[in-house]
Structure 1
Amino acid sequence: MPLFSSQPQSTTTPNLTFIGPDAHGTIYIEDARGMRTPFFAVTIAKHSKPSLTVNRILPSGHQEPFFTSHTSSMSGTSRIDLVSRASEIKMKISYEGMRLRREFQGPTGKLSWFPSGNSGCDQKLKDKNEMVLAKLTANIGHSKEPRLEILVPCDDYLLDLVVATGLAVYRDTVKEVKQVEVVSEVIGGAFGG
């Protein structure tokens, strides 16, 4: 069974859509009719490791560990531990020209999250052939909720990789935007802005 279809996919109709996290740290899966089901519970720690903990919400309402993540600004690497698969993913942060890129090894080769749009908050996941597998719309500072859209059919392992890395990228993006806001306030204050 292929990990994802080699056929071109419509980027307007995602195969799966995840919405959130909301104010309570819940991420929902949304079906084609717009019905939402709680799917993940997210905890973000400001000063401890792991900085991101995600649990699956079972139909019973109980939670089971899915993954933890921590980004080291010193090494430029995110470490993601997939608890359910007992595996670790290292996502390297690098630059292509002036564009930030986060790369990791997938089952068929290197996968990369790239900023899309002017703000750099939204991201696209591309494979080594530049095929877009997923889109992350962060909506930081807007009233709309974050969205992670899976654009291609995936097996369970690839789906876990896309979701885990996408949520780690989202967490890092929120952190980066907040750091820029603090720096802007300091600079504005220093120059009387």
Structure 2
Amino acid sequence: MTRTWHALVAALTAVALVGQTVITIDEGRSLANFLSYFTIESNILVLVTSLLLVQRPDRGGTAFGVLRLASLTAITVTGLVYATVLAGNGSFEGAEWWYDKIFHYVVPAMSVIGFVALTPRTRLDRTAMWALAFPVAWLAYTLVRAEVAEPVFVLTPTTTAPVPYGFLDVADLGGVTVTVICLALTAVAVAISTGYVWLSRGVGARRR
């Protein structure tokens, strides 16, 4: 059951990633922008982690623990932020509508359920908290790229910004507001990561 679950997660994620990449290229959109979305990077982390778990469901070790926690934290943040803040901003049709739902609802839900409900569950120790380097690095990269490269992201059918998400737009909200938002997002990531580490030590956790 565990292998099948992770295989399904990997398959759905791969289909959505490949499909959306093809559409992005065919329509002449920026591939660099596409790969800069936290949503996309989170789904890539889930894909890699799921494939490794298909090969070996009881996989452990420090490096994998960091990867596992990074993927879980990132995809959980993706689902929560999209559902509470971003849902409805985009306008999608056809295959893109389905890919959007896979990225933001299906993969986050299945990732959390897979970790909570299935065994063996990877046991995460304190070193796994290095996973927090990913969301922090992404925030830094996004804000620096906005200033240096001045990319153009479509936020809604009528608005654009140099960042993929409007709540990080310094030009619109101001530096102080964006700083507070970044700190709040980091705090949320810390809380989520801590919760997963605590949960991993419960029944069904893999002992090393």
Q: TM-score, normalised by structure 2?
A: 0.28
More helix by percentage: 2
Structure scoring higher RCO (CA < 8 A, sep ≥ 6) equals 2
More strand by percentage: 1
Q: TM-score, normalised by structure 1?
A: 0.30
